[in-house]
Amino acid sequence: MTDTAMMYFAGALAIGLGALGPGLAIGILGYGAMQALGRNPEAKGAIMTNMILAIVFAEAVAIYALIVAIMLVMGIGA
Protein backbone atom coordinates (compact mmCIF):
# COMPACT_ATOMS: atom_id res chain seq x y z
CA MET A 1 0.00 0.00 0.00
CA THR A 2 1.09 3.52 -0.65
CA ASP A 3 1.42 6.18 2.02
CA THR A 4 -1.69 7.95 0.76
CA ALA A 5 -3.74 4.77 0.92
CA MET A 6 -2.53 4.14 4.47
CA MET A 7 -3.53 7.68 5.51
CA TYR A 8 -7.03 7.17 4.10
CA PHE A 9 -7.32 3.76 5.73
CA ALA A 10 -6.18 5.15 9.09
CA GLY A 11 -8.69 7.99 8.83
CA ALA A 12 -11.52 5.63 7.97
CA LEU A 13 -10.59 3.32 10.82
CA ALA A 14 -10.36 6.22 13.27
CA ILE A 15 -13.80 7.62 12.52
CA GLY A 16 -15.38 4.18 12.12
CA LEU A 17 -14.26 2.92 15.50
CA GLY A 18 -14.50 6.36 17.08
CA ALA A 19 -18.17 6.71 16.14
CA LEU A 20 -19.11 3.17 17.13
CA GLY A 21 -18.94 3.77 20.88
CA PRO A 22 -20.90 7.03 20.93
CA GLY A 23 -23.49 5.56 18.58
CA LEU A 24 -24.08 2.62 20.88
CA ALA A 25 -24.07 4.89 23.93
CA ILE A 26 -26.69 7.21 22.45
CA GLY A 27 -28.90 4.24 21.58
CA ILE A 28 -28.63 2.83 25.09
CA LEU A 29 -29.32 6.28 26.58
CA GLY A 30 -32.42 6.71 24.45
CA TYR A 31 -33.67 3.26 25.37
CA GLY A 32 -33.13 3.89 29.07
CA ALA A 33 -34.81 7.28 28.92
CA MET A 34 -37.88 5.88 27.15
CA GLN A 35 -38.10 3.09 29.74
CA ALA A 36 -37.87 5.64 32.56
CA LEU A 37 -40.49 7.88 30.95
CA GLY A 38 -42.81 4.93 30.55
CA ARG A 39 -42.51 4.09 34.24
CA ASN A 40 -42.56 7.64 35.61
CA PRO A 41 -43.98 10.22 33.17
CA GLU A 42 -44.05 12.92 35.87
CA ALA A 43 -40.23 13.02 35.92
CA LYS A 44 -40.02 13.97 32.25
CA GLY A 45 -38.06 17.19 32.82
CA ALA A 46 -35.28 15.62 34.87
CA ILE A 47 -35.04 12.54 32.66
CA MET A 48 -34.87 14.51 29.42
CA THR A 49 -32.34 17.00 30.80
CA ASN A 50 -30.01 14.27 31.98
CA MET A 51 -30.45 12.28 28.77
CA ILE A 52 -29.61 15.26 26.55
CA LEU A 53 -26.58 16.12 28.68
CA ALA A 54 -25.27 12.55 28.46
CA ILE A 55 -25.86 12.49 24.68
CA VAL A 56 -23.86 15.69 24.30
CA PHE A 57 -20.93 14.16 26.16
CA ALA A 58 -21.10 10.99 24.06
CA GLU A 59 -21.27 13.01 20.86
CA ALA A 60 -18.17 14.96 21.89
CA VAL A 61 -16.18 11.73 21.69
CA ALA A 62 -17.35 11.22 18.10
CA ILE A 63 -16.35 14.79 17.23
CA TYR A 64 -12.87 14.16 18.64
CA ALA A 65 -12.64 11.01 16.51
CA LEU A 66 -13.69 13.01 13.45
CA ILE A 67 -10.98 15.60 14.10
CA VAL A 68 -8.37 12.86 14.46
CA ALA A 69 -9.58 11.21 11.24
CA ILE A 70 -9.34 14.50 9.33
CA MET A 71 -5.85 15.07 10.68
CA LEU A 72 -4.81 11.57 9.62
CA VAL A 73 -6.20 11.97 6.11
CA MET A 74 -4.59 15.38 5.65
CA GLY A 75 -1.27 14.09 6.98
CA ILE A 76 -1.09 16.60 9.81
CA GLY A 77 1.24 15.55 12.56
CA ALA A 78 3.03 12.95 10.47
Q: Are 19 and 41 in contact (CB under 8 A)?
A: no
pLDDT tens sequence across 55-69 = 999 999 999 999 999
User: Domain for residue 2, yes or no?
Assistant: no
Element (H, E) at 9: helix 3-39
pLDDT at 43 over 90: yes
The arithmetic mean of pLDDT across residues 2-13, rounded, is: 90
Q: Which domain holds residue 58?
A: 7-74
Highest mean pLDDT range out of 3-7, 24-28, 72-76?
24-28
Q: Are 31 and 25 in contact (CB under 8 A)?
A: no
CB-based burial label for 19 (10 Å; 0-12, 13-18, 19+): middle
CATH number for the domain harbouring residue 35: 1.20.20.10
